């Protein structure tokens, strides 16, 4: 069976991602081995925490180039939460820290408003604007689970796959070629999240 590599760069939430794939019958390995990442049929960059420390974790473990190589190889690639944010050029959370730069644009903080609790923590809806393979059979308006204070502002608006409203309407996931990445947590999003992960599995296995 094709194996999915879940990149281990010191961020949390790795095992829950792995367990979600295993629940779907998909082999997944949590690894910081560049060879394992290079040989995997699909690659996942998860993450929770801060943009700066997560980028430092990638660099300290020598995983920036293996991650970019996986993306540029054309193999299915999934970014989750901070793992999605790292695909952009920079973040307000960590001035001066360069992201992976796969997507043009930057990560910004939700506006400070008395009525807006930050971080956004809990369930919110996806408005589908690009029917990426990972979103097959995910209904418009489906609820997924979020825990974040920052969101992406892509240079190219056409990469947006879903939008979500939380004080502002923002890009909650992006898709381009072999990449799908969301600022929400599919592994914590019950039925809808499992559908997204299973769609990714089907792409990895060449069934979608």
Q: Which residues are catalytic?
A: 81, 185, 187
Q: What is the DSSP letter of 101?
A: -
CB 120 within 8 A of CB 146: yes
For residue 38, say if its preceding peptide bond is cis, omega within 30 degrees of 0: no
How far apart (Å, rounded) are the C-alpha atoms in residues 30 and 47?
A: 12
Residue 199 structure tokens: 């769609």
CB 88 within 8 A of CB 105: yes
Q: b or e along 131-162 (b: 16 or more beta carbons within 10 Å of the residue's beta carbon)?
A: ebebbeebeeebbbbbebebbbebeeeebbbb
How far apart (Å, rounded) are the C-alpha atoms in residues 30 and 6?
A: 5
List 122's β-bridge partners, or say none: 146
Residue 80 structure tokens: 């989750």
How far apart (Å, rounded) are the C-alpha atoms in residues 98 and 54?
A: 11
């Amino acid at each position: 069976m094709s194996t999915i590599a879940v990149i281990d760069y010191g961020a949390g939430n790795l095992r829950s991602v792995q367990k979600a794939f295993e629940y779907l019958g998909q082999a997944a390995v949590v690894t910081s081995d560049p060879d394992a990442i290079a040989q995997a049929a699909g690659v996942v960059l998860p993450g929770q925490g801060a943009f700066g420390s997560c980028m430092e974790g990638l660099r300290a473990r020598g995983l920036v180039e293996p991650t970019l190589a996986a993306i540029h190889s054309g193999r299915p690639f999934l970014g989750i939460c901070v793992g999605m944010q790292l695909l952009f050029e920079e973040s307000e959370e960590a001035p001066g820290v360069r992201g992976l730069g796969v997507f043009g644009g930057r990560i910004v903080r939700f506006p400070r408003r008395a009525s807006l609790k930050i971080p956004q923590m809990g369930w919110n809806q996806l408005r589908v604007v690009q029917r990426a393979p990972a979103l097959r059979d995910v209904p418009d308006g489906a609820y997924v689970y979020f825990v974040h204070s920052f969101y992406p502002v892509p240079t190219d608006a056409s990469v947006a796959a879903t939008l979500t409203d939380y004080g502002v309407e923002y890009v909650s996931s992006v898709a381009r070629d072999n990449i799908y990445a969301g600022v929400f947590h599919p592994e914590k999003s019950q039925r809808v999240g499992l559908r997204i992960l299973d769609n990714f599995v089907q792409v990895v296995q060449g069934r979608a």
